[in-house]
């Protein structure tokens, strides 16, 4: 079974779920709005990918962060 990580009202997540269902692929959604993102899970993500790819820099939340925070992000959990 595939675990899809995201937010259920995200358009990209909706498209992914629709595709998985259309192709009869078993899946479960790990919804960040209802399930906490643990330090262990975040560390696993960082170890498997470039940590900066995990950020949605186009999101309203990210864009509204102060520049001081945006400019000083690191892979430290």
Positions marked active-site: 10
| Whole-Å CA distances, 17 to 24, 26, 59, 68 | 10, 10, 20, 36
Q: Which of 17, 10, 16 shows the shortest CA–CA distance to 58?
A: 10
Cα–Cα distance measured from residue 42 to residue 30, given in angstroms and rounded to the nearest whole number: 13
């Amino acid at each position: 079974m595939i675990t899809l990580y995201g937010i259920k009202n995200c358009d990209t997540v909706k498209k992914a779920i629709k595709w998985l269902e259309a192709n009869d692929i078993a899946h479960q959604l790990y919804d960040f709005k209802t399930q906490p993102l643990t330090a262990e899970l975040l560390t696993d993500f960082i170890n498997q990918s470039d940590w900066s790819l995990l950020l949605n820099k186009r999101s309203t939340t990210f864009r509204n962060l102060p520049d001081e925070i945006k400019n000083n992000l690191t892979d430290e959990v």
